């Protein structure tokens, strides 16, 4: 959740969000260089012309949430975190949702509509009967770390890299504070996770 593409930045502008300040917090993502074992490196220009934000943006999800939460507050909407939808039902003109706080306290709310945005483990989506299918890659897991890298990577700081070999993959993305996000597809070490 660190790449915000050009079209999303356009939508943010239409929503009246402070995109220029938001972009100043992030890193521009202009190029992806592919390093495939046995072949010369190939660089792809990821920029899009004809838009106020020709480069994608690499930025922490916390900055995106902060900007969206501030805009909602300007519109009179209060964001509540740490609550889960545990039960959802619908009648002809409303949705009744039971929310449970971390301490187990429950609250029932009624609304005209409800958006399921909980990811792969969604009570709302499950109770609405919307399927979510996943497929694990046997013996493979994806790990990532945000770290400072000594020695640098080829290309300028707007480059993301993808190294592909017969035993796995390694990707990099420049983060706003000088760190690099490093993610790798590696042999599964037996840890169970989604």
pLDDT digit string, tens, across residues 98-109: 999 999 999 999
Strands of the sheet containing 180-187, edge to edge, are 42-45, 31-36, 159-165, 168-174, 180-187, 140-147
pTM of the entire predicted model:
0.75
**Do residues 112 and 92 make contact, with C-beta atoms less than 8 angstroms apart?**
no
Q: Name the residue with higher pLDDT: 121 or 24.
A: 24
Across residues 50-62, what is the average pLDDT?
A: 91
- Residue 105, classed as helix, strand or coil, is coil
By mean pLDDT, which of 27-36, 59-68, 173-182 is the weakest? 173-182
Strand partners, 3: 58
Q: pLDDT category, 189, cuts 50, 70, 90?
A: low
**pLDDT > 80? residue 138:** no
The pLDDT score that the predictor gives to residue 82 is 86
- Residue 71, classed as helix, strand or coil, is helix
CA distance linking residue 96 with residue 109, whole number of Å: 6
Query: What does the DSSP 8-state code read for residue 24?
Result: H
Tallying the residues shown for the chain, one arrives at: 194
Closest CA to 162 of 5, 27, 31: 31
Query: What does the DSSP 8-state code read for residue 120?
Result: T
Contacts of residue 120, defined as CB under 8 A and 6 or more positions apart, other chains included, come to 132, 134, 194
Q: pLDDT category, 191, cuts 50, 70, 90?
A: low
Model confidence pLDDT, tens digit, residues 77-90: 998 888 888 899 88
User: What does the angle CA 166 – CA 172 – CA 174 come to, to the nearest 5 degrees?
Assistant: 170
The pLDDT score that the predictor gives to residue 165 is 87
Q: Name the residue with higher pLDDT: 174 or 53.
A: 53
H or E segment to which residue 141 belongs: strand 140-147
Q: Name the residue with higher pLDDT: 158 or 71.
A: 71
Model confidence pLDDT, tens digit, residues 19-55: 999 999 998 999 999 999 999 999 999 999 999 999 9
Q: pLDDT category, 17, cuts 50, 70, 90?
A: very high
End-to-end CA distance of the chain: 16
């Amino acid at each position: 959740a660190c790449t915000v593409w050009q079209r999303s930045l356009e939508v943010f502008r239409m929503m009246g969000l402070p995109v220029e300040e938001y972009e100043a917090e992030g890193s521009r993502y202009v190029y992806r260089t592919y390093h495939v074992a046995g072949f010369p490196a190939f660089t792809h220009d990821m920029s899009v012309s004809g838009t106020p934000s020709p480069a994608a943006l690499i930025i922490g999800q916390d900055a995106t949430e902060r900007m969206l939460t501030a805009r909602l507050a300007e519109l009179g909407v209060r964001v509540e975190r740490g609550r889960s939808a545990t039960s959802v039902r619908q009648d002809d003109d409303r949705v009744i949702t039971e929310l449970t706080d971390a301490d187990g306290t429950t609250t029932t709310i009624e609304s005209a509509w409800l958006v399921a945005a909980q990811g792969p483990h969604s009570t709302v989506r499950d109770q609405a009967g919307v399927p979510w299918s996943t497929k694990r890659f046997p013996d493979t897991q994806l790990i990532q770390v945000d770290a400072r890298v000594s020695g640098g990577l080829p290309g300028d700081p707007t480059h993301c890299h993808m190294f592909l070999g017969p035993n796995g993959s390694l990707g990099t993305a420049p983060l706003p504070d000088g760190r690099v996000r490093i993610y790798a597809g590696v042999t599964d070490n037996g840890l169970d996770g989604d």
